[in-house]
Structure 1
């Protein structure tokens, strides 16, 4: 019976309280009449087909029978929150025979006729909260004949007594009554006698000061809920002490209450006080025959859980002790709770847990201990919890987890774990976010858990990979969260590139906020089932072809530094977030811009979030507004083809002859050129611009190449070696400050010189300090948006050997570099060319046209 009424009420609420369709205010569409906040002083006329009439936030002061026409289809009437005192007359709603919900809440009712609600045989819910009503509304039979009434809300009124009219006995459908936030100081058996024999799903007495401000003679008051069955009894926020709670438990002895809510109480000594008692074995003893399934004692001051505190609650399945001041769990505190399934001890003051703390809980499946200060847990603390499935220890102070039992879900986020002991994990859900894990060894270890499906390691410090780890085939892992770590530091060493090997069922992977500036080759090759990948908020400049999984559907690569992404990478996607990147809007981006305006992929974010960062003339402009018209190379070059053919033909023969002469006698030619130039410009000194850098160039080379570099380069270029030289050079052996941090010396050298010259030899590629200086120079290139890095390859280094090094690969793919000549007759020419490259200043950028369009950029060899 009660379930049928609950279903009717639920259906009514869903139908009546669904969102109002987009309608003009103060209008009606025949089914819904929307007149909220329309300054009405009386009920408006509406069509007889109206199903919902919404009249809140007006100034209607009178409701009588003639206020409504006959509205046989009306199901919901909303008259709450009127700005005028409301008078409701005799049978005011008789013309609404099929009304299901009547809402008068937050309207001050000045006059209410005892017959106001007559003629509503199908009314399911009556909302009278905050209407200023007194206890007379209960005593004088205002709700008689409401045979379908299931929910009555009288909270926040001026009711001081619950003496119910005998007509409540006839309300056979009534299952939900709320008297919360009234001032009901006592409640005795005679007052609720008309409800005896009924089953109620909810009875609310929250914040009524019940029994807390008066002296009660419990023997004469007796059990107010005698003969009733209550699914939920809410007695929270009444300021009950242990004595009041114990007396009340005695008075309702035998009454059937499935869920008893006593949260926001004042039971317990709290921390540092002794004047208020903690509950003891007798406090809840009288609830033994009440069949209590759920007991909520949260938000109080309980300091100690005394022995056998809940001994009589044999049927209890849920116990909520959260947000108290619990610091001590006595021996056998949970003795007798043979049926308990959920125990919530979160947000207390527990510091240590001992082997005996949870004795007597054979059926607990969920144990919530989050938000305490637990730092030590004995190894056998959870040994007797044979049915435990979820252990929540988040936000504590644990440094080791040797106590973890064999369970399905382990929540350990927000602790102080720096490494993981090699214990046997059987969980399918492990949460370790917000700890201090650094070594990827812990990740490899966790991936060996055979049943693991969900692994969360966000907000750790994963950055170290000091050894090669054996990968494991994990066929069960489906979701892996590694956000907000430092994987870049591990991967840039060339190690741990196989960390995702064998994760054939992984579907979701989060790698955002990991400082990644590259993706190791083939890092995702084994993730054949991956559907969702987040690379957001990293430092990725480019994505290599084939770097993404073939079956990927959702990709978040927002907030990186992508310049010109290849649209072919996104062919398999359904959803893409590429917002807030640093796009370089030149002709290389034209293919991506065309794809952006034509693709069927769902692009997240607004067009304004996909913008140019370079050149300055297009800074902040949306890629959707950029024209690629000027990037059609065929059209731009058509008029030049014939002229270029004639010019090339005429100069080809002469060029071949001159080239052969220069190649054969290039040493002699260069010496002659130098002689002529010195004779012509012998009186002209090389003048630096005002505000120039301290050095013309910083020469970076391995210390093992110093002797060669000095004889081959420095003696012929540096002014300190010869007055005939014209360059002020900086190099480590002479100019670095002894005792200063080496990184600081490198930083000062790179940023204090106009150019940086890297002499890349075999020794250079093995020297970590040289590679670090190379990175600093590249960073300055990106910062100044000009080329200040000159690379000179020395020795017989092949292109393959150079491209093996991730540090310089990106530079060599996009920039030119110099090679030390193999023929001695080319050395003089090479030194002159190198000097020119060092002293050469970047030319200023040409002004862009006023219309927003891409400009073709030509690379000068």
Structure 2
């Protein structure tokens, strides 16, 4: 996650298209990524970081940099042209700590290029370098070099220059992803006597594709101490691993990474054997503390497989195909503390499986297929404190010992047996627990501090367990259950009665439409409560704990909440409720605009749902002026006075006009009557349009449109249909300009129906047709355009397009129903909208479609 965040920030800095500056200096950092530079720019002497990747710099010489005493990081990697580095190119950077040339194709590198460079880390990964970089003395005199990254190059043999003997600060060397088939004692002789924290020879096909004469090759790590040696991804079989172990016999290796190997027969195969007690036997004198054998094909853990690894503390066997554990497989691991066997094929565990592990503290067995475990399997592991059995197929927990931490989520537990259990942390989410009696049982577990029961099925209660005092429980997670079914039956309202020290409670997604009176009364220490994603419409005084500080009420159906409920809180989330914006809500709106309580999320997510005229309007923009009784009374008096005066005046004027111009009025009346009733061609659209509607949709949606709309509405598809529809595939004139076709279709149709889908938003012609339809709306001053949103398109995707954004802000649109049984009704409504004759707008008022949303 951290690496992804760093990459995202890097892209934001490097990309001008995202609106972020890519070429700037902020006092200490000079960032010139992707600035089309052909040479190193001049920067102030106080610069600490200079980033020059993604440019076209061809040459770096001793004169490329002025004297930059403060520079600590120089990034010259990823040049978009071959790079040449001359003699003593970095001599003017006396305090450089990191030199990054990675991902640059180095065309020329002078043997003295790195001289006078006191840096501590040199990154030369993916630079197209050959064996010469190691055997020709490029790194001599670099006394302060601590890390050397030469991964992803074209190094084919490993023969270090004698100057490596002088690199007393060197601690890490990465040679992974090269083409080194063989590493022998003579090649690494300059490193003898040194202690390295990290040495990687991973992904080189090392020893796997050549015949090795170990008598001549001997021990490549003789007289060396390695804290971590990574030889993963080299395609080692059990025989190769055994030969390597024998060769390095006696070399001090604290951590050995052998991941991504091919040891083991896998499931259903026997051509490659599983490792046996000879495979790792010679590592017994290496003082090995950690061994990583993950991502392989080991099917069976054989007898005394690790018998000589007396000092091993961490063993990783994850992502293999382990299905069998032989008796005494772990014998000899007297100091093992952590065992990871996750993501394997274990189906049953027996009492003898983990014998010989007296100090095992953590065992990870998640993501297997374990359905049966014998009672004594874990009980003799006296030091065990964490057991992870998530995502298996367990139906009982009779075998569980009393240990501090239990992970049992993602299994098939329907009920819990009445066993003696002691734990600090229990994770039981994603099971099938239904009866709240199981919750009462768990709340009685001594020393329990955190209990996670999300995504179960709690919905009924026999209440055979009386509430008990639990002075230790601090966090309880009960989200995504069905507590409403139990509580509406009147049972288990006292489930939280004994939890006087509970601080955090999650009850989200429980279908709650009410809170039982006093259900939180005894939670005197509760500080955080989540009630989100429920169906609460109202909260009453006393419903919430007195000392609550943080409350999540988002995604409920609150209509007009009492602000007095929230005044004691420090933070609250009230987003996405169904507030009724009338005078009854004015007190809450005033509190919302003035409160010091932290409101989570955006204020735009706290909006009106009713009345329809204010639907979607943020509460902080809604005016409650005129809601006081005095203002309403004064306004009513004034309105009555105006109404009476205007009515009397109009009546008097009308009498005078009729009496004075009664002949002219009669003539006008007859003209209007004749215009309205006797000449329907005038002012009516029905006879002036070639089509009832123009269907605008993406060509990729044609099959769906044909099945869903055309066969049910278009008269040419069925005699029972009454609409004459126009669409591109049938009615556009072949060979004619597409714009002209679109214009003719828009202006020749009474209505334009745009079927907005994901394909529509990516189709420029569809968006062009949408714009033409909007133009006609403005020209005719009527609601010609009907917009139908198809599929689960969120609002923000519609708002990305300017023409659609303008339409959505001013007018409402239709949404294709999700339920098939509603389609016929929807098509009938759509037909009415198409055939409906819309009057012209007056006084710039908008004619809006009634929103049709099928939930």
TM-score bin, normalised by smaller chain: 0.7 to 0.9
Question: Using the alignment, how far apart are the partners of 2:165 and 2:282 within structure 1?
Answer: 28
Cα distance, 1:28 vs. partner? 2.3
* Conservation of the 8 A alpha-carbon contact between 2:569 and 2:597: yes
Cα distance, 1:468 vs. partner? 5.4
TM-score relative to the length of structure 1: 0.72
* Conservation of the 8 A alpha-carbon contact between 2:441 and 2:465: no
- Say whether residues 1:569 and 2:565 are aligned partners: yes
Which position in structure 1 is the counterpart of 2:70? 73
Cα distance, 1:61 vs. partner? 0.4
Which position in structure 2 is the counterpart of 1:592? 588
Equivalent of 1:365 in 361, 367, 370? 361
* Conservation of the 8 A alpha-carbon contact between 1:63 and 1:87: yes
Which position in structure 1 is the counterpart of 2:58? 61
Which position in structure 2 is the counterpart of 1:399? 395
Summarize the alignment of residues 703-718 of structure 1 with structure 2, pairs less than 5 Å apart. none
Summarize the alignment of residues 358-757 of structure 1 with structure 2, pairs less than 5 Å apart. 358-467=354-463, 469-638=465-634
2:63 is paired with a residue of what secondary structure? helix
Which position in structure 2 is the counterpart of 1:355? 351
Cα distance, 1:308 vs. partner? 0.4
2:426 is paired with a residue of what secondary structure? strand
Q: Between Structure 1 and Structure 2, how many residues are aligned?
A: 632
Unaligned runs of 5+ in 1: 1-12, 645-848, 853-861
1:186–1:571: structure 2 CA closer, same or farther, 3 Å change rule?
Answer: same
Which position in structure 2 is the counterpart of 1:297? 293
Aligned residues: CA RMSD: 2.1
1:306–1:639: structure 2 CA closer, same or farther, 3 Å change rule?
Answer: closer
Which position in structure 1 is the counterpart of 2:260? 264
Question: Using the alignment, how far apart are the partners of 2:469 and 2:48 within structure 1?
Answer: 61
Question: Using the alignment, how far apart are the partners of 2:364 and 2:324 within structure 1?
Answer: 16
1:509 is paired with a residue of what secondary structure? strand
Cα distance, 1:377 vs. partner? 0.4
1:611–1:195: structure 2 CA closer, same or farther, 3 Å change rule?
Answer: same
1:553–1:850: structure 2 CA closer, same or farther, 3 Å change rule?
Answer: farther
Which position in structure 2 is the counterpart of 1:306? 302
Equivalent of 2:29 in 14, 25, 32? 32
Which position in structure 1 is the counterpart of 2:140? 144
Cα distance, 1:95 vs. partner? 1.1
Equivalent of 2:214 in 218, 222, 230? 218
Question: Using the alignment, how far apart are the partners of 2:105 and 2:13 within structure 1?
Answer: 25
* Conservation of the 8 A alpha-carbon contact between 2:154 and 2:178: yes
* Conservation of the 8 A alpha-carbon contact between 1:40 and 1:58: yes
Q: Which protein, 1 or 2, shows the higher relative CO under an 8 Å CA cutoff with sep ≥ 6? A: 1
Which position in structure 1 is the counterpart of 2:188? 192
**Could you list the per-position Cα deviations for residues 102-126 of structure 1 after superposition, in whole angstroms to 9, with x for gaps in the alignment?**
0100010000000000011x31000
**Could you list the per-position Cα deviations for residues 637-673 of structure 1 after superposition, in whole angstroms to 9, with x for gaps in the alignment?**
24779999xxxxxxxxxxxxxxxxxxxxxxxxxxxxx
1:39–1:641: structure 2 CA closer, same or farther, 3 Å change rule?
Answer: closer
Which position in structure 2 is the counterpart of 1:92? 89
Equivalent of 1:48 in 45, 50, 73? 45
Cα distance, 1:619 vs. partner? 1.4
**Could you list the per-position Cα deviations for residues 723-753 of structure 1 after superposition, in whole angstroms to 9, with x for gaps in the alignment?**
xxxxxxxxxxxxxxxxxxxxxxxxxxxxxxx
1:631 is paired with a residue of what secondary structure? coil
Which position in structure 1 is the counterpart of 2:101? 104
- Bigger radius of gyration, 1 or 2? 1
Question: Using the alignment, how far apart are the partners of 2:136 and 2:636 within structure 1?
Answer: 102
Which position in structure 2 is the counterpart of 1:798? none
* Conservation of the 8 A alpha-carbon contact between 2:185 and 2:220: yes
Question: Using the alignment, how far apart are the partners of 2:629 and 2:107 within structure 1?
Answer: 83
Question: Using the alignment, how far apart are the partners of 2:99 and 2:637 within structure 1?
Answer: 84
Which stretch shows the higher mean deviation, 469-478 or 22-31?
22-31
Question: Using the alignment, how far apart are the partners of 2:472 and 2:546 within structure 1?
Answer: 20
Which stretch shows the higher mean deviation, 613-622 or 540-549?
613-622
Question: Using the alignment, how far apart are the partners of 2:341 and 2:330 within structure 1?
Answer: 12
Summarize the alignment of residues 97-136 of structure 1 with structure 2, pairs less than 5 Å apart. 97-120=94-117, 122-136=118-132
* Conservation of the 8 A alpha-carbon contact between 1:468 and 1:496: no
Which position in structure 2 is the counterpart of 1:773? none
1:66 is paired with a residue of what secondary structure? coil
1:589 is paired with a residue of what secondary structure? helix
Question: Using the alignment, how far apart are the partners of 1:97 and 1:155 within structure 2?
Answer: 26
Question: Using the alignment, how far apart are the partners of 1:483 and 1:503 within structure 2?
Answer: 18
* Conservation of the 8 A alpha-carbon contact between 1:469 and 1:496: no
2:164 is paired with a residue of what secondary structure? helix
Equivalent of 2:172 in 153, 172, 176? 176
1:147 is paired with a residue of what secondary structure? coil
- Say whether residues 1:335 and 2:331 are aligned partners: yes
Cα distance, 1:23 vs. partner? 8.6
* Conservation of the 8 A alpha-carbon contact between 2:13 and 2:22: no
Question: Using the alignment, how far apart are the partners of 2:135 and 2:75 within structure 1?
Answer: 26
Question: Using the alignment, how far apart are the partners of 1:851 and 1:480 within structure 2?
Answer: 54
Cα distance, 1:466 vs. partner? 2.4
Which position in structure 2 is the counterpart of 1:827? none
Question: Using the alignment, how far apart are the partners of 2:226 and 2:592 within structure 1?
Answer: 61
* Conservation of the 8 A alpha-carbon contact between 2:13 and 2:21: no
1:393–1:29: structure 2 CA closer, same or farther, 3 Å change rule?
Answer: closer
**Could you list the per-position Cα deviations for residues 802-860 of structure 1 after superposition, in whole angstroms to 9, with x for gaps in the alignment?**
xxxxxxxxxxxxxxxxxxxxxxxxxxxxxxxxxxxxxxxxxxxxxxx9999xxxxxxxx
Which position in structure 1 is the counterpart of 2:237? 241
Question: Using the alignment, how far apart are the partners of 1:28 and 1:337 within structure 2?
Answer: 56
1:138 is paired with a residue of what secondary structure? helix
Q: Following TM superposition, where does structure 1 have runs of at least 4 consecutive aligned residues deviating by more than 6 angstroms? A: 19-23, 639-644, 849-852
Cα distance, 1:65 vs. partner? 0.3
Which position in structure 2 is the counterpart of 1:673? none
Summarize the alignment of residues 775-794 of structure 1 with structure 2, pairs less than 5 Å apart. none
Cα distance, 1:607 vs. partner? 2.2
Question: Using the alignment, how far apart are the partners of 1:358 and 1:515 within structure 2?
Answer: 44
Question: Using the alignment, how far apart are the partners of 1:290 and 1:599 within structure 2?
Answer: 66
Question: Using the alignment, how far apart are the partners of 2:460 and 2:430 within structure 1?
Answer: 17
1:851–1:553: structure 2 CA closer, same or farther, 3 Å change rule?
Answer: farther
Question: Using the alignment, how far apart are the partners of 2:227 and 2:482 within structure 1?
Answer: 52
**Could you list the per-position Cα deviations for residues 11-61 of structure 1 after superposition, in whole angstroms to 9, with x for gaps in the alignment?**
xx9xxx9x9899943232442211111100001111122221111110000
**Could you list the per-position Cα deviations for residues 662-710 of structure 1 after superposition, in whole angstroms to 9, with x for gaps in the alignment?**
xxxxxxxxxxxxxxxxxxxxxxxxxxxxxxxxxxxxxxxxxxxxxxxxx
Question: Using the alignment, how far apart are the partners of 1:523 and 1:55 within structure 2?
Answer: 62
* Conservation of the 8 A alpha-carbon contact between 2:437 and 2:464: no
Which stretch shows the higher mean deviation, 48-57 or 391-400?
48-57
